[in-house]
């Protein structure tokens, strides 16, 4: 048999191994930078003042003070003592609420993909665009309080019973008939 497939090995050039290790180090550094940049574009919850106790669950209702800004710094919304269903808001806001504690103050960055994405939002009164499509949002949020869904339902039932009792005492003859749901009672699920 003959050695037709034999390939002679050439010696490694001087400095080639060093260049190879430099290339590997650059690739690792570039990968780390890309991973860091990707993490920076995600949801960020910065604690400005620590709260205490447990954190709200997705099924809970919160009472918050908040101010929302676009990346340009323009305020697009605000509210004081606003009751909100944790699951009833944009995904980034919901995830942020679940990382907060009662009494805490937070600064939240929500990337567009966890906000409204490509859907622009319009002011209901003026019809003007209040949040352009693909907008990153920031919020300053104070978590005043939160309650479980069961607590909210229990309070709602108590309010209805009180109103039925008040209507029953005033109406006299209609005391046995079920009263309609309260129209003027504050709804903790309203946004």
Judge whether 13 and 19 are in contact, CB under 8 Å: no
CATH class name, domain 44-149: alpha beta
Predicted pLDDT at 160 = 93
Predicted pLDDT at 161 = 92
Tokens 């504690």 map to which residue? 101
Rg (CA), the chain: 29
- Taking only the tens of pLDDT, the chain with its 191 residues reads 566 667 666 666 677 767 767 877 777 777 665 444 444 579 999 999 999 999 999 999 999 999 999 999 999 999 999 999 999 999 999 999 999 999 999 999 999 999 999 999 999 999 999 999 999 999 999 999 999 999 989 999 999 999 999 987 665 544 444 444 434 444 444 44
| Distance from C-alpha of 56 to C-alpha of 90, rounded to nearest angstrom | 16
Predicted pLDDT at 58 = 96
Predicted pLDDT at 186 = 44
Judge whether 153 and 44 are in contact, CB under 8 Å: no
pTM over 0.75: no
Which burial class, exposed, middle or buried, applies to 179 when counting CB atoms under 10 A from its CB (0-12, 13-18, 19+)? middle
């Amino acid at each position: 048999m003959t050695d037709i497939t034999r390939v002679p090995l050439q010696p490694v050039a001087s400095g080639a191994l060093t260049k190879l290790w430099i290339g590997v180090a650059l690739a690792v550094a570039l990968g780390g930078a890309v991973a860091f940049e990707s993490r920076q574009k995600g949801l960020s919850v910065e604690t400005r003042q620590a709260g205490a106790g447990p954190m709200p669950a997705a099924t809970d209702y919160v009472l918050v003070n908040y101010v929302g800004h676009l990346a340009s710094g323009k305020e697009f919304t605000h509210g004081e003592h606003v009751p909100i269903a944790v699951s009833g808001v944009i995904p980034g806001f919901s995830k942020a609420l679940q990382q907060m504690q009662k009494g805490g103050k937070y600064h939240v960055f929500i990337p567009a993909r966890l906000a409204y994405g490509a859907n622009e939002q319009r002011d209901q009164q003026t019809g003007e665009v209040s949040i352009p499509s693909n907008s990153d949002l920031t919020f300053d949020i104070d978590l005043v309080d939160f309650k479980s869904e069961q607590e909210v339902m229990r309070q709602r039932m108590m309010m209805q019973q009180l109103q039925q009792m008040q209507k029953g005492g005033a109406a006299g003859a209609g005391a046995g008939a079920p009263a309609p749901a309260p129209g003027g009672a504050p709804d903790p699920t309203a946004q």
